[in-house]
Amino acid sequence: MRITEAVVQKTLDEEDIEGLREIGAPEDEYTHEAQKIVSRLSGSEPTEESLIAVVREVWVASFGPFSDEDIEKRSPVFSKVAHQILNNSR
Amino acid sequence: MQLGPSSCAKIPDGLMAAITLRNEKPQSGQNPSLGQKPHQGVLSKNAALHPGFGLAISNTALGMRPVLYDEGVGSCYTNKERDTESGLDYFEARYFGSSMGRFMSPDYEDEDDGPVSIPYYNPSNPQSLNLYSYVHNNPITSADADGHDCVVQTRVDDHHETVSVSTGTCAGVKTGSGQSATYVPGTVTSITANGGNSIDIGYNSYDGQSSGVVNAKGAPAFDHPGIDGAANAAIFGQIGNNGMGAIKYFAIGSVIGGTIGGAALATGVIGGGAGLTTLGDLSSGLTEHGAARLAQRGITPEQARAAVEAAKKAGDVVSKMGKYGTPQSIYTANGIRVVVEEAGANAGKIITAFFK
């Protein structure tokens, strides 16, 4: 299984975690985050848990700082994104 | 406040006692009346007006109401004691000369070190020489809670610090391990991170005529015997391995304890996944995502801010709640749409911008 940037970006676009696409942001809105997630994985095969952690960390760096409450609110979508990335990569 | 005889509205109890002591019944054959001028310093009585009570009215040769004080008797103004020899009222820090309506010494004196010579004198403002005036006689545009502020930085841990502002100089502020106090010659108006090493403290000057910025390094490291260089190195190495851009994290670690606190104030998450990249971007009013988007799309921060200002003037602003309940504003002008977070740690920062 190889997780590609295209798969990650497609997933992030679909989930639109921050709701920026729905207010007119272009398709490349989450390209930066997709690149960072793939870079973090360094070609390894992550578990769903480790992938969730990577997505969360990248997100906090890009859109944070977040309060614990902010992170908690996003946790379900972090999990969903990680799950989707793994599914789309198989 | 200028004190004068006319402000004497209440006679203290102690004074009444003194009057009563001199109260005497009129002797037979005497006919005291209002027109009878009493002797100076001697209280007379008019039984017809105040039966059984001393009349607290007498005139001196100068036509002034007499000084009705005795040793240990409180003043009728503010209950301060009067020195019977000098005639001055003792106001604890200074003596007040009621006959002149002014204090006998300036209103700025250090109890321990003696008088302070004209603090905060401004050559361009002669009013600054007047130690008795409020905000240099310019109360319409100036306010002065105290005239000085003191900013205290307190290190929370290796990556965080808190900041508090109090009025007054830092002279009486005690700082301990992991704390620093910075004197600000005015009223603090803002505190912002300055890169990753310090904070900038904006203030309005004492006289309200100017503003300035004081730069303060982050709070010092704890005086903690359990954290030595080797332990720190191990911690920072772990941080570096854990995050993106390990070199950046390691660079942070190499100076932690000395100067990183200021940046932590602004972000609150240094070492928590953001790192210096985020700090740098935040200091310019952009989230990391915003900085990356603008750079990729060829939009400079200045263009984005100009679009925000133009949209404000044109009224082309849409306020909305973000997906997670944080208010955001969408500004559209100059062909650019800019999204700004309006609350939380990123309040006022650009999340993204794109050509519209």
Between A and B, how many CB-CB pairs are < 8 A? 86
ipTM: 0.93
Indicate whether B192 pLDDT > 90: no
> Whose CA is closest to A56, among B95, B2, B273?
B273
CA distance B278 to B269: 9
Q: Give the containing element (helix H, strand E) for A40.
A: helix A31-41
Closest-CA residue of chain A to B286: A63
Residue B37 has what pLDDT? 37
Put simply, whether A4 touches B (Cβ < 8 Å) is no
Task: Identify whether residues B185 and B85 lie together within a single domain.
Answer: no
Cβ B340 vs Cβ B331: under 8 Å: yes
Side-chain-facing half-sphere of B53: CA atoms under 13 Å: 8
Indicate whether B6 pLDDT > 80: no
Q: Which amino acid type is present at position B330?
A: I
Q: Which amino acid type is present at position B202?
A: G
Of all residues in chain B, the percent with pLDDT exceeding 90 is: 13
Cβ B32 vs Cβ B47: under 8 Å: yes
Mean pLDDT (chain B) is 60
Condensed to tens digits (0 to 9), the pLDDT of residues B213-246 reads: 888 888 877 654 343 344 343 333 333 333 333 3
Residue B51 has what pLDDT? 32
Q: How many domains does chain A fold into?
A: 1
Task: Identify whether residues B13 and B98 lie together within a single domain.
Answer: yes
Per the rule left: phi > 0, alpha: psi between -120 and 50, beta: everything else, B202 is beta
A75 contacts in B (CB within 8 Å)?
none
Closest-CA residue of chain A to B295: A32
Confidence tier at A59 by pLDDT (50, 70, 90): very high
Confidence tier at B353 by pLDDT (50, 70, 90): very high
Task: Identify whether residues B70 and B1 lie together within a single domain.
Answer: yes
Out of B51, B81, B105, pick the residue that ends a domain.
Answer: B105
Residue B61 has what pLDDT? 36
- Which of 40-69 (A) contact B at CB < 8 A? 40, 56-58, 60-67
Indicate whether B333 pLDDT > 80: yes
Top residue of B160, B248, B288, B317 to mutate, by most chain A CBs within 10 Å, is B288
Looking at per-residue pLDDT, the higher value among A67 and B207 belongs to A67
Residue B69 lies in a domain: yes
Confidence tier at B31 by pLDDT (50, 70, 90): very low
Put simply, whether B332 touches A (Cβ < 8 Å) is no
Residue B104 has what pLDDT? 59
Residue B222 has what pLDDT? 63
Closest-CA residue of chain A to B338: A25
Q: How many domains does chain B fold into?
A: 3
- For chain A, first and last CA: distance in Å? 6
| DSSP letter, residue B245 | S
Indicate whether B354 pLDDT > 60: yes
Confidence tier at B195 by pLDDT (50, 70, 90): low
Indicate whether B162 pLDDT > 70: yes
Task: Give me Rg for the CA atoms of chain A.
Answer: 12
In this complex, do A26 and B277 lie within 8 Å of one another by their Cβ atoms?
A: no
| Domain containing residue B333 | 288-355
Is 0.80 surpassed by the pTM of this model? Answer: no
Task: Identify whether residues B88 and B163 lie together within a single domain.
Answer: no
Out of B105, B134, B162, pick the residue that ends a domain.
Answer: B105
Residue B310 lies in a domain: yes
* Residue B276 dihedral angles phi and psi, to the nearest 5°: -65, -30
User: Vertex B271, ends B267 and B272: CA angle to 5°?
Assistant: 75
In this complex, do A74 and B344 lie within 8 Å of one another by their Cβ atoms?
A: no
- Mean pLDDT, to the nearest integer, of A59-66? 90
B292 contacts in A (CB within 8 Å)?
32, 62
Indicate whether B36 pLDDT > 80: no
Cβ B213 vs Cβ B200: under 8 Å: yes
In this complex, do A19 and B322 lie within 8 Å of one another by their Cβ atoms?
A: yes
Looking at per-residue pLDDT, the higher value among B99 and B344 belongs to B344
Condensed to tens digits (0 to 9), the pLDDT of residues B300-312 reads: 888 998 999 999 9
Residue A65 has what pLDDT? 86
| Domain containing residue A53 | 5-89
Condensed to tens digits (0 to 9), the pLDDT of residues B95-134 reads: 656 565 555 555 454 545 555 555 555 555 665 555 554 4
SS3 B13: helix
